[in-house]
Amino acid sequence: MARNLVLAVSVVAIVGVAAFWWLTAPLTIAQMQLPPRLSVPAKGLTVFNAAGCSSCHATLGQPDRTKLGGGLAIPSPFGTFHVPNISPDPVDGIGRWSEADFVTAVIEGTSPAGAHYYPAFPYGSYQHARLDDIRDLFAYLKTLPAVSGRAPGHELPFPFNIRRAVGIWKLLFLDGKPFTPDPGRSSQWNRGAYLVNSLGHCAECHSPRNGLGGIVEAQRFAGGPNPEGEGWVPNITQKGLKDWSEEDLAYFLETGTTPNNDSAGGSMARVIRNTSQLSAADRAAMAAYLKSLPAVDGPPRPPRPPRKNG
Amino acid sequence: MLFRGVLAGALLLSAGAVMAQQDLAVQQDNLMRTQAKYLYGVISRTVRGQSPYDQAAIDAALVQLEESVGKIATVFAVNPKEDVFGGDYGSSPKIWQNKADFDSKIPPVTKAINDAKGKIKDVASLKAAYTEINDRCNDCHETYRLKLR
């Protein structure tokens, strides 16, 4: 009897582990899945700016946006992430990566070694990117200077340090669908929708997250507490931006200046450094799309500034 | 009786301290608002074509902006430890944890203002100067300014 019980428990455990392993297998994209194509680094520059790569990956403490040595620490409710080097350095960066390695990393959130990246790397948005855009981006990154040096490892307490478990997170919160244009909308709106939802990854900060760190889809773009710690991320649906015109939004993305004569702060200052480099047409497209978002109530804002404890 | 007097005194003192902190927060907020008035209310509005180009107003705004920027380090010398009541924005406590770094963000703003002087003749040159100055403001806001709500 006892032997049977041990046997039953063992079988359940083995099936459970096997199921976990199977469910959490990192997805990859093979080179043979990428049709032959000549990538265009100049187009990759636009992708680089739209995707805000340098916001996190630029070498810390220097102004050159093209030195991608990483090192930024990103605090979160799950621990602190340290941004890796994505410069073409063969040892510390992505110099030895194949194109398929890179596409897999950005679209699937899987490293060349076959491990999950943590979703602090916003592949939840990048998964919607066009393959050709990511291939052009890779070609552009290859033209940038190699920077040596590695960031320290992430500081994550148990159980968040189990990378394999990110596979479950991906099952819960990723749909793996590329962006599909809405034929009922203008090409400008569709360009904006693509930039905002995919490369621009605006929803990653401008949406509240649930206890597992997944975006609350019903409140997408409705703002919430800053996941990086202090402060509040604004609602960018028409609930928060109804007084902003499209031109106001485009000017904000260019300069960081708001229509009520104020300025962007926090991580948005880094975002503006990227969007200011985009074409006026791309900024106008993002503005047109954002202006079309229906008003959605976000989490309740703090009623008034709380006392600080220095 | 004595006890009640001490209590009342303590209450008054702490109320005074709260007032002083709030005054300080308001003072810091007002300094920033003064700069916003010149940089955004005058210069940015002209860049956007919302105000007509007025050389005298631009030149005056630059002078006043520079004067106000020169006060940041002293006006922000002490941490008020609270935000302006009802405010949407506040200062990060990081200012007073890294005051030297905070102060080091100011000279680049002053330099951008000085570099712009005498070079602004039309909307195009104003826009170039505005971008240069405003980007230096944003460099500091990135780390030290908080959106509270």
Chain B contact present for A259, CB below 8 A? no
Distance CA A69, CA A149 (A): 7
Average pLDDT over residues B37-56: 96
CA-to-CA separations, A119 to A76, A160, A241, in angstroms, rounded: 11, 12, 28
Chain B contact present for A229, CB below 8 A? no
Looking at residue A3, its pLDDT comes to 82
Average pLDDT over residues B90-107: 96
Q: What is the pLDDT of residues A52-77, one digit of tens each?
A: 999 999 999 898 999 999 999 999 99
B149 with A270: Cβ contact below 8 A:
no
Answer for the pair B55, B109: CB distance below 8 angstroms, yes or no: no
Say if residue B8's pLDDT is above 80: no
Looking at residue A310, its pLDDT comes to 47
A263 with B142: Cβ contact below 8 A:
no
Chain A residues in contact with B137 by the CB 8 A cut-off are: 263
Q: Which of residues 109-138 of A touch B (CB under 8 A)?
A: none
Which residue in A233, A255, A270 has the most chain B C-beta atoms within 10 A of its own C-beta, making it the best mutation to test that interface? A255
The whole-model pTM stands at: 0.91
Does residue B148 or residue A246 have the better pLDDT?
A: A246
Chain B residues contacting A via beta carbons under 8 Å: 36-37, 40-41, 44-45, 48, 79, 81-87, 89-90, 92-93, 96, 130-131, 134-135, 137-139, 141-142, 144-149
Tokens of B55: 């050389």
Looking at residue B1, its pLDDT comes to 58
Say if residue B143's pLDDT is above 80: yes
A231 with B146: Cβ contact below 8 A:
yes
Residue A216 has phi, psi (to 5 degrees) of: -80, 100
Residues (pLDDT < 50) of chain A are: 309-310
Chain B residues in contact with A308 by the CB 8 A cut-off are: 81-83, 90, 93
Fold of B2-147: Four Helix Bundle (Hemerythrin (Met), subunit A) (1.20.120)
Residue spans of beta strands (DSSP E) within chain A: 73-76, 79-82, 224-225, 232-233
B141 with A257: Cβ contact below 8 A:
no
If pLDDT is split at 50, 70 and 90, which confidence band does B5 have?
low
Q: Sign of torsion, CA A126 A131 A137 A141?
A: positive
Q: What are the start-end ranges of the H helices in chain B?
A: 2-36, 45-47, 55-69, 72-75, 94-97, 99-104, 106-116, 123-144
Residue A282 has phi, psi (to 5 degrees) of: -65, -40
Looking at residue A307, its pLDDT comes to 56
Distance CA A29, CA A2 (A): 47
